[in-house]
Amino acid sequence: MASEPQTSFNEEFVIELKECAKLLTEKLQSNQFEEASVLIHTITQARDRHIFQSVGRLTRGLHNAIVNFNVDADLSKEPPKIANSDIHDASNRLNYVIDLTQKAAEKTMDVVDEAAPIAMNLGQEASNLRTEWARLKRREMGPDEFRQLYDRMDDFLGQMVTGTGQISKNLQDIVLEQGFQDLTGQVLKRVIGLINDVEKDLVSLVRIAGQVEEIAGLTDDSETIEHDAEIMHKRKIEAEGPQINKERADVVSGQDDVDDLLSSLGF
Amino acid sequence: MKILIVDDFSTMRRIIKNLLRDLGFSNTHEADDGVTALPMLKNGDFQFLVTDWNMPGMTGIDLLKAVRADEKLRTLPVLMVTAEAKRDQIIEAAQAGVNGYVVKPFTAQALKEKIEKIFDRVG
């Protein structure tokens, strides 16, 4: 959005106003009431003109924002029906991220569910064989038992080869599944870019709106101030999702912190 | 023990279900929101509720409050497992009567300890 020299417009108006005011005082002091009246009319007209110009800048700014973000909307509907837009696109991309990460997590857990029993069984059998082997070493084993152990060991070695082969493949599959991070990272970067652009434009619009308020003589009334305070209060206990800034004073830094906080309150 | 796991992300429900199974609790059921969980609890005879905070329909904190306000469910042990980590939220949950609060990301050990603590207390 092009940044126009906004302050000069208001300044221009103020200069015009000051000159008229000086002239008005002169007219009044010299009892030229009719001319003074005309002057008041002129001042009012100038103010109105400036308000309209500021409002025009504001609407132009809003229009540019809608164009900038490719908003394709039917504004005649109540509420307006948005068919398409950059933000719509960004939403879709974010849903894609949720989808992709969920699939990767599920697939990874499936692979682990496959590998875990193999590892457990091999471990169990190894443990059992170890007990038997210890008996053998202590010469507590008869020839029949030894023959069984002999065959069992052979089986076990076979299981180890197959089992560890399977587990290796599973581990490799898990690593591959993490590839989602690349795709999701790319998508997220684009969305971050869009959000920053939206914020920039909003701030620009707020600035123009501020100028309109200034000229029109609108100020923060007590109702607005009260309403803002209410919103700030609600924000304190509002859900925010995972905290990423550990430096924040109002946020705990881990489970230990949570436990300390709760026990300090007597829970 | 019949347990209800509530979280709007199926991945997290699966993780908690697996961890509970490793701890010996295999009678687990799932809900994806406070809205669907509450009727399940009311009609269910569940003995333990594990819930997230952030859910689109009814949040975990509201589910907790609804449970504590219900004559039949008042004493149901509730463990919150959530990413919400603001002090004010933790305090709010404690004041609303939560029995344990586990913050994400969590370890299997942390989950185990909190569950043991809850059932040591309740007895």
For A202-261, the pLDDT digits (tens) are: 898 888 888 888 777 776 677 777 888 888 888 877 788 888 777 788 888 889 989 998
Q: Let me know if A31 is exposed, middle or buried by CB neighbors in 10 A (0-12, 13-18, 19+).
A: exposed
| Lowest mean pLDDT segment, chosen from A18-32, A65-79, B78-92 | A65-79
Cβ contacts of residue A3 below 8 Å, gap of 6+?
A204
pLDDT bin (cut points 50, 70, 90) of residue A98 is very high
The answer to whether B106 touches B81, Cβ cutoff 8 Å, is: yes
Q: What Å distances lie between residue A165 and A110, A115, A171, B7, CA to CA?
A: 17, 10, 10, 36
Residue that wins the pLDDT comparison between A82 and B41: B41
Report the C-alpha gap between B123 and B121 in whole angstroms: 5
Q: What Å distances lie between residue A193 and A86, A180, A185, A186, A240, CA to CA?
A: 11, 20, 12, 11, 21
Cα-based torsion angle of the residue sequence A207, A211, A217, A220 in order, rounded to the nearest 10 degrees: 10
pLDDT at A107 over 80: yes
Report the C-alpha gap between B122 and B116 in whole angstroms: 10
Chain B residues in contact with A120 (beta carbon < 8 A): none
What value does the mean pLDDT take over residues A125-137? 95
Q: What Å distances lie between residue A192 and A33, A90, A119, A186, B28, CA to CA?
A: 62, 9, 43, 10, 39
Tell if the CB–CB gap between A258 and B90 is shorter than 8 Å.
Answer: yes
Chain A: which residues have CB within 8 Å of chain B? 101-102, 105-106, 109, 236-237, 239-243, 250-252, 254-255, 258, 261-262, 265, 267
The answer to whether B87 touches B59, Cβ cutoff 8 Å, is: no
Report the C-alpha gap between A186 and A88 in whole angstroms: 17
Instruction: Name the helix (H) or strand (E) containing B61.
Output: helix B60-69
Tell if the CB–CB gap between A242 and B83 is shorter than 8 Å.
Answer: yes
pLDDT bin (cut points 50, 70, 90) of residue A2 is very low
What value does the mean pLDDT take over residues A107-122? 95
pTM of the model: 0.71
Q: Which of A30-44, A147-161, B108-122 has the highest mean pLDDT?
A: A147-161
Chain B: which residues have CB within 8 Å of chain A? 9-11, 14-15, 18, 53-54, 59, 83-92, 94, 101-104, 106-107, 110
Tell if the CB–CB gap between A251 and B85 is shorter than 8 Å.
Answer: yes
- pLDDT at position B121 is 62
Report the C-alpha gap between A179 and A95 in whole angstroms: 18
- pLDDT at position A1 is 44
pLDDT tens for chain B, residues 1 to 123: 999 999 999 999 999 999 999 899 999 999 999 999 999 999 989 999 999 999 999 999 999 999 999 999 999 999 999 998 999 999 999 999 999 999 998 889 999 999 999 988 654
Instruction: Name the helix (H) or strand (E) containing A265.
Output: none
State CA B51 to chain mean position distance. Answer: 3
* % pLDDT > 70, chain A: 96
pLDDT at A186 over 50: yes
- pLDDT at position A7 is 58
Q: Give the chain B residue nearest A103 (alpha carbons).
A: B11
| Lowest mean pLDDT segment, chosen from A52-61, A120-129, B4-13, B61-70 | A52-61
- pLDDT at position A18 is 87
Residue B84: name the closest of A256, A231, A252 by CA.
A252
- pLDDT at position A229 is 85
What Rg do the C-alpha atoms of chain A give, in angstroms? 37
Residue B61: name the closest of B86, B12, B94, B110 by CA.
B94
pLDDT at A118 over 90: yes
pLDDT bin (cut points 50, 70, 90) of residue A109 is very high
What mean pLDDT is reported for chain A?
87
In total, the C-beta contacts within 8 angstroms joining chain A to chain B are: 65
Chain A residues in contact with B107 (beta carbon < 8 A): 255
Q: Give the chain A residue nearest B54 (alpha carbons).
A: A239
Q: What Å distances lie between residue A218 and A173, A214, A224, B13, CA to CA?
A: 64, 6, 12, 52
